[in-house]
Amino acid sequence: MKPNIPINTEQRWEWIKYQLRSRGSSLSRLASALSVSDSAVQLTKYMPYPRMERAIAKALNLAPGQIWPERWNADGTPCRQRPNRAEKRAETTHIRVKDSESNAIAHRQIVREA
Cβ atoms within 10 A of the Cβ of 50, count?
21
Quick check: is 26 in a domain?
Answer: yes
Quick check: is 25 in a domain?
Answer: yes
Q: Which range of residues forms the domain containing residue 67?
A: 9-113
Cα distance between residue 103 and residue 109, in whole Å: 10
Angle CA(1)–CA(76)–CA(88) in degrees, nearest 5?
Answer: 125
Quick check: is 1 in a domain?
Answer: no
10-residue mean pLDDT series, the chain (114 residues)? 82 95 94 92 91 94 92 86 60 45 63 65
Quick check: is 67 in a domain?
Answer: yes
pTM for the complete prediction?
A: 0.69
Quick check: is 4 in a domain?
Answer: no
pLDDT value at position 31? 94
**Count of domains observed in the chain:** 1
pLDDT value at position 103? 61
pLDDT value at position 98? 47
Q: What is the CATH number of the domain that holds 92?
A: 1.10.260.40
Distance of CA 37 to the CA centre of its chain: 15
Distances (CA, A) of 50 to 6, 63, 85, 101, 114: 19, 11, 12, 18, 13
